[in-house]
Amino acid sequence: MGARDTELKKELDASLQARRELGEEYESALVDSFLEKVDQRIDAAVERRVRRQFAETQMAAARGSRSPGATDSWGERFGFGIVSLVLAVPLSAIGVGAADLPGLLVSWAGIVGVNVVQAARTNPGLFGGLRRKSSRDGDWED
């Protein structure tokens, strides 16, 4: 048990002892007081975590890397792929209805194009092209 847990346990014991001494008429005030202390502890812990996460995000941005939780998460990529496939069905039907096989090919070229752009956006070096030599210098190489 940590020091904070021990301190909180002592406060709970003190509240229970005070309830025994003061009687039931003060029970709700004692419970409210104890819960306020617990709430303050939770708020302080959340604030520390948020500050730490913010500092880590700023450090990652300062280093030039993508921040945790950036837009290239697996869930977003999976969702984008699913939406793309779901929309492919009506787009294919519209393409075939408007221009037969050429319409189908144009609609699928658009679907593939959107997915290629999304893949290139989330994975900058995926298709070759320019890559950074290092995160410190701004030089680019082919």
Task: Confirm whether 91 is domain-assigned.
Answer: yes
* Domain interval for residue 40: 3-63
Task: Confirm whether 99 is domain-assigned.
Answer: yes
Q: pLDDT tens digits, residue range 37-61?
A: 888 888 888 999 999 988 888 888 8
Same domain membership, residue 86 and residue 51: no
Q: Which two tokens stand for residue 101?
A: 């096989």
Residues with Cβ < 8 Å from 71, sequence gap 6 or more?
122
Q: How many domains does the chain have?
A: 2
Same domain membership, residue 83 and residue 42: no
Task: Confirm whether 22 is domain-assigned.
Answer: yes
Same domain membership, residue 55 and residue 9: yes
Q: Which two tokens stand for residue 118?
A: 């999304």
The answer to whether the predicted template modeling score (pTM) of the entire model surpasses 0.75 is no
Same domain membership, residue 17 and residue 59: yes
Task: Confirm whether 108 is domain-assigned.
Answer: yes
Task: Confirm whether 134 is domain-assigned.
Answer: no
pLDDT for the residue 105: 93
> For a pLDDT cut of 70, what percent of the chain falls above it?
82
Same domain membership, residue 86 and residue 55: no
Mean pLDDT value of segment 98-124:
88
pLDDT for the residue 75: 78
Mean pLDDT in the chain? Answer: 80
pLDDT for the residue 101: 92
> Does residue 130 have a pLDDT over 80?
no
Task: Confirm whether 11 is domain-assigned.
Answer: yes
Mean pLDDT value of segment 69-76:
64
Task: Give kind and range of the element (H or E) at residue 26.
Answer: none
Task: Confirm whether 69 is domain-assigned.
Answer: no
Same domain membership, residue 41 and residue 15: yes
Q: Which of 112, 117, 119 is nearest to 78 (CA)?
A: 119
Same domain membership, residue 80 and residue 47: no
Domain boundary among the residues 30, 63, 96 is at 63
Task: Confirm whether 130 is domain-assigned.
Answer: no
